[in-house]
Amino acid sequence: MSAITDVTSLRDALRAFCAARQWQPFHTPKNLSMALIKEAAEIVEHFQWTTAEESQALTPEKKAAVADEIADVLMYLVQLADVLDIDPLAAAREKIVKNARKYPVTEPTPKGHS
């Protein structure tokens, strides 16, 4: 496997990985989005019932486990964007611009995230 250094190389590595296992028929937007949410919930499990302080003081083992789940979320997100022909970096850039208009710096406190 070649080095994964950006979203395009990650996408290409995931395409090859899935093609070798003939998983493409199962990688529909519905299935990928459901898998993404499942993996995101696995991140939440690591922090359920912890205090804010505890959630920021992870042991090396816990941090590695959370990193695995973050990788799963990232990979499913990249695959979902791929099958929908969405450039995730372009989408993120556009969303940051939208958020900047929605939440101008002049507001004293954030009202939430979108």
Q: How far is CA 103 from CA 15, 79, 83, 90, in A?
A: 37, 30, 31, 20
Q: Judge contact between 78 and 7, C-beta under 8 A.
A: yes
Structural domain harbouring 73: 7-102
91 part of a folded domain: yes
Least confident of 18-32, 41-55, 100-114: 100-114
Average pLDDT over residues 19-33: 98
2 part of a folded domain: no
Q: Whole-angstrom Cα distance, residue 109 to residue 33?
A: 32
- CATH number of the domain where residue 31 is located: 1.10.287.1080
Average pLDDT over residues 10-17: 98
What is the predicted pLDDT for the residue at 36? 98
Average pLDDT over residues 39-67: 97
112 part of a folded domain: no
pLDDT tens for each residue of 56-100:
999 999 999 999 999 999 999 999 999 999 999 999 999 999 999
The model carries a pTM of 0.88
1 part of a folded domain: no
